[in-house]
Structure 1
Amino acid sequence: MSPHSRPSRAIRSGGSAWLLPALWDATSGTARSRALPSGPGFLRGHALAPLLAFLVLAVATMAGGGDLWLADHLYAWEGGDWALRGSWVTQQAIHLGGRNLSALMWLAVLAAWLVACLRAGWAPLRKPLGYLLLATAVATAAVSLLKGVTGMDCPWDLSRYGGDLPMVGLFSVRPAGLPEAACFPAGHASGGYAWMASYFFLRVAWPRLRFAGLALGLTMGLVFGVAQQLRGAHFLSHDVWTAAICWFVALGLYLMFWPRRSDAAEAVA
């Protein structure tokens, strides 16, 4: 029998290995040893550049007045009221529906991880799927925990936008007597931005698709975040901080799951 006529390892192992084209070596039936670089070039692109972008956006939105400028225009555009606060699109479809979508996506990844734990053909995906489960969960949990300690109000609560509370900055002391607040960072947007971890998951599993994973998380986060800004629930800076938290949680866990090797070749940018 010629080499070209021999059945592939995917067929001989029950047909499941075809799902793992980037991780599975059909000739040996073992996971490939991939170089996952985390050296200076990797850190410049994945840590330093995002950090600088975050600092610029954070300063521009908070200290530079970008938050108020955008919120003022949205508030005026909606007729001097948060007219879209209770609309079906922003509240039901994007806020509630988006939250359910993110939860269903997490459950789907959990189901895939359980399959990977039970089926030998999926074994190379156990660690990447476990990473994705943990990264998305930790990112949303971190944002939720911060919301409980920062004590910042939503735009719709401020007297500037029809509410009855003064605006208190992130690093300002909250005056006594004000009710508790938990609007910073943006919790709902974290359900979208947390999926930026898909970039690192795909970087390990299917590297050519890694930017599709990044686009998924960014798109979901932006849609969720913009909808909440239109409702008066958040300022732009809330989403900037949320995106940064989700990204650096994903990056940090990636480096923990796949530590830097001294001989790692920077084969994947």
Structure 2
Amino acid sequence: MSSNKLSQSNAVLPLKTAGPDAGEPRSYKEAIWREKWTILVPLTLLAAFTAACYLLPIDQICSRFYYIDGHYGWAGEHWFTEDLCYYLSPIPGVVLGIAAIVVLAVGRWSPELAARKPVARFILFVVLAGPLLLVNGLIKPAIGRPRPNQLAEFGAYKPKNVHYVAPWQLSKVDGKSFPSGHASMGFLWMAPAFLYWRRNRWAVAGWMTVGVLFGAGIGFFRIAVGAHFLSDIVWSCGIVYFSGLAMYLALGGWRDGAFQAQLPDEVNENTAARDAAAQGPQSEAQAA
């Protein structure tokens, strides 16, 4: 077995690594340039959707579908699954965040966990940067967008005469609707996809699908209860996606084997095997 195959077989996080002629980026700038379409295409779609929300009543139409005139309020308020979804929605962030902290904290005493520190560091940074810092820490308080159940057109009267505010438009109402914090936690299941980015397309597609479906499911219930607009959910997805992509680039995930950590003993064995393979031809040449 060659040293390359031995290295891949002993990997803690098995990934499909590209060959030496695959045009892998050699610098941070080259890595960003290679991801230009994964940056520009989603950003263009988000910009187009946001512009449509300014020109068309997309958010109001979507929310009005779940609003019942009179004392019935919002349809989602009468679904028992809404409460269940509300309390279960933070689970992805809690599970991923705590698991990453445990690996980083205990890794100094456990070689098995220490080998997974690059993965844990990436996951923790995505959790902190996306839902916690950007969504709940910075954007929500700064924008102050009123929620659907605060609007006068949906029967709200406290505070008085509150009207629709488009996404990214500043508001003096303390609504904190934009973006959705609960949905952003659901979209966190997209984060592991970047551990396989450009190395295993099926793993990337699988984690992306799980994350989008989980976050969209939470967003559906948040819209049905009048707590968020459709654009709140869409931008939560976008923020988590770009947080994962930014951490992938910043932490050097584009480097070959960046998340392919190995146990110390296995590293020594592989190094010895490579040295033996390199010395073999040399000794044969000297003998000749």
Give the TM-score band, short-chain normalised: 0.7 to 0.9
1:186 aligns with 2:172: no
1:103 aligns with 2:94: yes
1:31 matched residue in structure 2: none
For residue 138 of structure 1, what is the amino acid of its counterpart?
A
Bigger radius of gyration, 1 or 2?
A: 2
Query: Which runs of 5 or more structure 2 residues have no equivalent in the other structure?
Result: 18-22, 257-288
Q: How far apart, CA to CA, are the structure 2 residues paired with 1:50 and 1:235?
A: 20
1:109-163 superposed Cα distances (whole Å, 9 cap, x missing partner)? 4334445554434555321221111112210121002111111111011111111
For residue 148 of structure 1, what is the amino acid of its counterpart?
P
What is the aligned counterpart of 2:56 among 48, 64, 69?
64
Q: How far apart, CA to CA, are the structure 1 residues paired with 2:169 and 2:207?
A: 37
Contact 2:142–2:170, Cα closer than 8 Å, also in 1: no
1:195 matched residue in structure 2: 189
User: What is the RMSD of the two structures over their aligned residues, measured on CA atoms?
Assistant: 3.5
From the superposition, tell whether residues 133 and 204 of structure 1 become closer, same or farther in structure 2 (CA, over 3 Å): farther
From the superposition, tell whether residues 172 and 94 of structure 1 become closer, same or farther in structure 2 (CA, over 3 Å): closer
1:54 matched residue in structure 2: 46
2:149 matched residue in structure 1: 156
From the superposition, tell whether residues 157 and 22 of structure 1 become closer, same or farther in structure 2 (CA, over 3 Å): same
Which secondary structure does the structure 1 equivalent of 2:65 belong to?
A: helix
The aligned length equals 238
Contact 2:146–2:165, Cα closer than 8 Å, also in 1: no
Contact 1:90–1:227, Cα closer than 8 Å, also in 2: yes
What is the aligned counterpart of 1:247 among 218, 237, 241?
241
1:133 aligns with 2:127: no
1:43 matched residue in structure 2: 36
Q: CA deviation at 1:260?
A: 6.5
From the superposition, tell whether residues 39 and 78 of structure 1 become closer, same or farther in structure 2 (CA, over 3 Å): farther
Contact 2:126–2:243, Cα closer than 8 Å, also in 1: yes
Contact 1:129–1:201, Cα closer than 8 Å, also in 2: no
Which secondary structure does the structure 1 equivalent of 2:77 belong to?
A: coil
1:27 matched residue in structure 2: none
Contact 1:194–1:217, Cα closer than 8 Å, also in 2: yes
Q: How far apart, CA to CA, are the structure 2 residues paired with 1:58 and 1:180?
A: 21
Q: CA deviation at 1:238?
A: 0.8
Q: How far apart, CA to CA, are the structure 2 residues paired with 1:239 and 1:231?
A: 13
1:73 aligns with 2:65: yes
1:166 matched residue in structure 2: 162
Which secondary structure does the structure 1 equivalent of 2:76 belong to?
A: coil
Q: How far apart, CA to CA, are the structure 1 residues paired with 2:232 and 2:87?
A: 19
From the superposition, tell whether residues 41 and 21 of structure 1 become closer, same or farther in structure 2 (CA, over 3 Å): closer
Q: How far apart, CA to CA, are the structure 2 residues paired with 1:79 and 1:38?
A: 55
For residue 233 of structure 1, what is the amino acid of its counterpart?
A
Contact 2:89–2:183, Cα closer than 8 Å, also in 1: no
